[in-house]
């Protein structure tokens, strides 16, 4: 019965509700394949990231225990030592790596879903790999490019604020207004064979024309992702509170408990893994927002029908 359903087209003008439905329908139809390959790529990252996260939280627990015991020195941060910087750097690195891998995978699978007659049925990793590597490279380029833009914008805003703080009334809203269309840059650059600067110009051409839709997709899908992230985070918060209570009551001995530490690590893996999967809704939603914007502004399907008229 699944194979008889019409394929979910990308380049279609859709009201906001239908864009949400298209996103949910794609995830519902392909959740097994998405979950399978997301687990292959993301779970190893989560295992390493959870070690850094648990190290940071362990340092916070020790700091709290020392505060309760009145053993704090003049410099409380000195109790962390080099491990704090190492764990924090690892957490940031694996966060970027996980987001890069997951986003690249989803874009690759959506493109294959569109191009393959059998959709994602029977898909193998070798089918995904070429697009996955291409997407990783292009997303990394986008990340570097957008980081440079953000740094430049911050420098300009700070310089103007030094002249007079009233400039913030203009520069901050402008920064927000220009940041929303940038959410479309990834699907544009990954789905189309164009240069980075062409994708950058098209981002604002499509983004400003459908600014409200992009903003709503980010808000609604972000809320859905936040709720799901909150649910998968509950076990970790429970074990963290339990560990904190025991640590403060026995002078820090519970903080070194192997059982509690291992349970906290496992729940950290679950929380991080669930957080990555939750972000899938935003990524898929932006893809169908991009398809809507392309059809509204550039009439992709009309031009395609004209180009293929002689084949009809």
- Rounded mean pLDDT of the chain? 86
pLDDT band at 160 (very low <50, low <70, confident <90, very high): very high
pLDDT of residue 290: 96
For residues 75 and 88, give the distance between their C-alpha atoms in angstroms, rounded to a whole number: 19
Task: Find the mean pLDDT for residues 162-182.
Answer: 92
Task: Find the mean pLDDT for residues 262-290.
Answer: 94
pLDDT of residue 310: 44
pLDDT at 25 over 50: yes
pLDDT band at 212 (very low <50, low <70, confident <90, very high): very high
Q: Is 15 left (phi over 0), alpha (psi -120 to 50) or beta?
A: beta
In DSSP notation, 200-225 reads: HHHHHHHHHHTHHHHHHHHHHHHHHH
**In Å, how far are 89, 130, 169, 247 from 62, measured between CA atoms?**
20, 46, 42, 8
pLDDT of residue 68: 53
pLDDT at 105 over 80: yes
pLDDT of residue 5: 80
pLDDT of residue 270: 94
pLDDT at 63 over 80: no
pLDDT at 184 over 90: yes
- Domain segments of the chain: what residues? 23-68+81-304
Task: Find the mean pLDDT for residues 95-101.
Answer: 95
For residues 63 and 73, give the distance between their C-alpha atoms in angstroms, rounded to a whole number: 11
Task: Find the mean pLDDT for residues 200-226.
Answer: 95
Backbone angles phi, psi at 263, to 5 degrees: -65, -40
pLDDT at 18 over 80: yes
Q: Is the pTM of this model over 0.85?
A: yes
For residues 202 and 196, give the distance between their C-alpha atoms in angstroms, rounded to a whole number: 10
pLDDT band at 262 (very low <50, low <70, confident <90, very high): confident
pLDDT of residue 56: 81
pLDDT of residue 251: 54
Task: Find the mean pLDDT for residues 263-283.
Answer: 94
pLDDT band at 260 (very low <50, low <70, confident <90, very high): confident
Instruction: Read off the pLDDT of residues 215-239 as tens digits, 9 standing for 90 and up.
Output: 999 999 999 999 999 999 999 999 8
Residue 58 CB neighbour total at 10 angstroms: 19
Backbone angles phi, psi at 194, to 5 degrees: -130, 165
pLDDT of residue 299: 84
């Amino acid at each position: 019965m699944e194979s008889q359903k019409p394929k979910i087209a990308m380049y279609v003008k859709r009201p906001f509700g239908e864009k949400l439905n298209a996103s949910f329908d794609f995830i519902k139809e392909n959740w097994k394949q998405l979950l399978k390959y997301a687990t292959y790529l993301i779970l190893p990252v989560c295992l390493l990231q959870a070690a850094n996260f648990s190290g940071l939280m362990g340092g916070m627990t020790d700091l709290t225990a020392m505060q309760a015991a009145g053993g704090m020195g003049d410099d409380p941060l000195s109790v962390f030592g080099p491990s704090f910087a190492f764990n924090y750097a690892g957490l940031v690195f694996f966060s970027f790596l996980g987001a890069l891998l997951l986003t690249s995978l989803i874009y690759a699978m959506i493109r294959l879903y569109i191009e393959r007659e059998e959709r994602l049925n029977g898909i193998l990793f070798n089918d995904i790999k070429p697009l996955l590597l291409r997407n990783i490279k292009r997303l990394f380029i986008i990340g570097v490019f957008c980081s440079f833009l953000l740094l430049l914008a911050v420098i300009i805003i700070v310089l103007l604020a030094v002249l007079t703080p009233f400039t913030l009334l203009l520069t901050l809203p402008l920064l927000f207004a220009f940041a929303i269309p940038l959410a479309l840059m990834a699907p544009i650059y990954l789905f189309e064979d164009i240069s980075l600067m062409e994708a950058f110009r098209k981002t604002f051409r499509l983004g400003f024309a459908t600014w409200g839709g992009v903003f709503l997709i980010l808000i609604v899908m972000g809320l859905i992702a936040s709720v799901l992230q909150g649910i998968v985070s509950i076990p970790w918060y429970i074990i963290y509170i339990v560990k904190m209570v025991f640590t403060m009551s026995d002078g820090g001995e519970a903080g070194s408990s192997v059982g509690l530490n291992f349970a906290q690590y496992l729940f950290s893996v679950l929380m991080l893994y669930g957080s990555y999967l939750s972000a899938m809704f935003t990524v898929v939603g932006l893809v169908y927002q991009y398809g809507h914007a392309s059809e509204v502004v550039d009439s992709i399907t009309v031009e395609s029908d004209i180009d293929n008229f002689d084949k009809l």
